[in-house]
Structure 1
C-alpha cells in the first residue's frame, strides 16, 4: 500500500486521471464487452435451437398430416367395393374392361383433391384386365420385390416404404397394403399410394433452414439446395458420415464449408414404418456472421465511447492541470516574496478556494510585514523621542527658570538661616534630576511617576508658598500599573508655566488618577490634571485639540510639551489613546490622559 501511495504521489494529476480512467472505465468496459460477446453467441445459438425445435414440430406435424391424408385415401380405396369387384371379375373383351373402368372416375377426383399424392397403383394378378395409371397387372418381377412380399405378409395392414415406382421409375415414399377378398379371404392385389415428392419438397422450402427427411439412410425429401448451396449428393454423403448425430447442433463439413446439423427422429402415426428422421442444416457462418455483426457494432460503439471519453478526460485533465498551475505559480510567487498576485483564478471549486486562501495569506503576510515595519519604525521614533527628552533634560530644557529660581531660593535660605527645608528641597530636586536622567524607552511603575510629580509639586509649593496648592487623588493601586515615563510631569509643568505662574494667590492643581472599564475585559487608566489658571481661549483650544488629533506620529516634535506627550502615547499604546484638553478662559484648564492598564 505504501508503495502504491509512493508511486501515485510521484505522478501528476493528469497521469493520475488517466490511470483512474483505465481502471474505472476502460478495463470494465473491455471485460464487459468480452462477456457480452460470449453471451450473445450463446444466446444466438440457444435462439437457433429454439427456432429449430419449433421448426421440427411444424415439420413433423406437416408430414404427419400428409401421411394421415394418404392413409385415409388408402383406406377409402381399400374398402371400395367397386374397386374390389373390378379386380376380381373375369372380363371377356376389351370393351367390357373399358366399361368397367368408367366406374373408377372417382380415382381421378382423388388425385385432384390430394395434392400430396403423385400416383395410385393397384397391382393385381387378374390377366383379363388392362393396365392403366391405376390398375396394373403384376409381373413376376413386381411380385418378387420386398415391398410386395411384405404387403402380402401383413395381410392388409398398411405400411410405409421407399420404393421405385414401376411406371415412372422414380423412387418414392409409398403407403403399401395388400387387398383381400372379404368372404374367402383370398389375396387379390397390392395397393400403393405414392407421395408427391415435389409437393413436399416445395413445402419444405418454406422452412428457414435447409431441411431433408430421411429413412434408413436414404434421403426421401429435401428442400431446394439452391438456398444454401448444398447438393443432394452432398446431403446424402453428410447423412452417411453423420448417420447418428448427437442431439443439439453437431458440426460437419459439406463442400468444404463448416455446417451445423440438427436431427429429430419421429414415427408416423398412421401405418407401420421405420422411424423417419428430420435433418436441419444450419450454416455456421450464419451464426458467426450474426455474432460478428453484433460484435462489430459493440466494438464500434465501444470505440466511439472510448474516443469520446478519452477526449473528455484529456480536456478535463488539461483544465485541472491549468488550474493547478495557477495555484502552484501563486504559491511560488508568495514563496519568492512577490505578494502582488492576481486576486482570483475564477470559479468556485476547491482550486479556487485554495487559491483564495493563498491570496488571503499573501495579503496577510504583506500587511504583517508592513505592520512590523511600521511598528519598528514607530519604536525607533519613540526611542528617538525618549532620547531627545533625556537630551533636553541634560541640556536644561526642563524649565531653566524653575531650576534657577529654586537654586536661588535655596541660596537665600541658606544665607538667612539654617532651615530644615533646605536639605529637604535639595533631596527632592536630586530625585527629580536622577529620575529624569535614568528614564528609558520602557515603562515604569505608576507610583514612581507619581512620586516624581509629587516631588515637583512640593518644590513648587515651597517656592510659591501660599500662592499655589496641589492635591493628588489616587483611586487605584499604583503599584500594579506601569506607564511610560515622563507623561504626567510635562503636563503639570505646562500648567505652571502657562496657567498658574502669574497667579498671585489661590492657585491650585488637582491630579486625579483612576481606572475605568471602557468595554468588557478592557480597563483604561484615566489621569486628569486640573488647574484654575488663566485657561485657554476657545479658538486656541480648538487649534490645540486639532493639532493633537491630526499631527502624524511620524513628525518628530522638538518640544517636550503636550504634542510631544500625545505623540509618544500614540506611538507606544496605539492611536486610540492620548490627551484630551478642555478649558475655559479665565477659569482654568483640564487635561485628561487615557492609557491602557498594563501590569
Structure 2
C-alpha cells in the first residue's frame, strides 16, 4: 500500500501544472461541491419550511393580538351598557301608552350613537321581556323561539359574562355576523335584558389581508373570516376544524396534500367562550421555490465545474492574479475602507465585477449619507407630530363624558328657545371631537376646513359683529390630504394676533385652489399687520428646527412639518402690510408626499 501511494505521488509530480490544476479541481473542489450542493439543497428545503413556519407562527400571534384589540371596543361598549342607569330606567318602565314609549325611545339615543361612532358595528339589538315596549328592530320582545336559541340561553346563564357567536341577524336579511351577546342585569328591578352587538365581518378580512400566510378566524366550527382561499379552497372543508388544538402546530394530510397548521386560542376579556386563529400552510407551496432553486443550483454547479476545467488550461495564471486583486479590494471594503478603487483591464465578467464593485462602494457611501439624513428628518417629523398629539392629550378627558355633557347643555338651551346657544354648543362639541381624534395620519382638506368653520362660528358667537369671514374653496381641492391641524392654527393666529386691535370690521379670508398639480391655501386678515422687525424674528424662528417652546401649535411647527413631509421647497409664506393686514400661505403637492 505504501509502495502504491509512493508511485501515485511520483506520477502526479510528473504532471504538468494544468493537469495538476484540473486534478486538484476534481479532487478538492468538484466532489466537495457536489456533496455540499446536495446537503445545501436538503437544508434549503428544511430552512424554507422552518422559515415559513416561524413566520406563520408570528403572523398567527399578531393576528390574534389585532383581533383581540379590535374586539376590545365592543367589549367596552357592552360594559358601558352594563352600567347605564338610563337604559335600566328605559327598559323597566311600564309604559301606559304607545306615545309614552315612543317618546322614551326617542330620548334614549345610545344605540344609534354607538353605531354612528363606530362604523364596524353592524347592528345593536336589545332583547327585553317588557310587554309595554314595542318591537322596532332595536328593542325586541324575545319570543319562545328566541329564548330556546343556544346563544340566548348561554348569555342568560353566564350572568354578565360575554359570549361570541356567529349568528344570523334577521334585521340584515339573515346574514351571519360575529356577534357579542351579554346579559344586562337591572338590580333595582330584579330583571335583565340581553344585549346583542353584531360586528362587520369585512374588518376581520381586512386584518387577515395584511398577512401572506393563509389564515382563518374560527368561532367553533364557523369560519368568521379567511384569507387567500384560492390556495386551500379544495381541501379546507375537509380539515377537522372542531378538533384543532387550542394552541400549537401540527401536520395534516388531506387528499394527498400536506399542510402545516398553526392555531392560537383567543379568549377576549370577560368572555366565557373563545375563538381560534388558524394558519394553514401548504407544504407544496413552501418548497416549490426551494426545489426549483435547488435544481438550478445543482445544474449551475455542474456547468460551472465543466467550464472551469476548460478555462483552467488557458487562464489559470491570469485568473488567479485578477481574482487575488479583487479579493484584496473586497477584503479592504469588509474592513471598512470604502475609498478603495479597483482597476482591472478587460470587459469580461471580472472586469464588469470590478466596475460594479466601484459603483457599489460609491452607492454604499451615498446610501449611508442619505440614510443618516432620512433618519434625522424622520425623527424631526415624529417629534413635531408628537408635539401636536401631546398638546391634544394634555387637555383630553373622557370624550364620552364631554360629548354627553355638551349634548345635555345643547338640548337644555334648545328647550329654552336659545337656538344660537344650542348651535354654538353643537359646534363646540364637533370641534372638540375632531381635536381629540387628531393623530399623525393625513386628513382631507374638507375635514380640516369643517373644523375651521366650526371654530370661526364659535368665535363669531363670542365676538359678535367684531369680525366676519369668507371661505372660497375650489371643490377639486377638498379631497386632497394634508397634515392635520395645518389650517386651524393659522386661522386662530389671525384672530388672536391679526385682529386683536380691531374692535369692528375685522375680516378673515380662507382660500384654497389647485394650481399646477399643487394645493395652494391662503389665510388672510385685514388687521394691523406685522412690523418688518417682528416678521424677521418670526421667519428666523420658523426655520429653526430646534426652537419649540412646547406650549402651542404655532407657525414654526406647521412650517417645519410641511417641509419635513414634502421637502424644503415647501412651507409657510408670510406677506404683511400695516395697512392691508397679513396673509399666510402654503402649497403642497396635490398627489401626496
When the two structures are superposed, what TM-score results if normalisation uses the length of structure 2?
Answer: 0.48
Rg larger for: 1
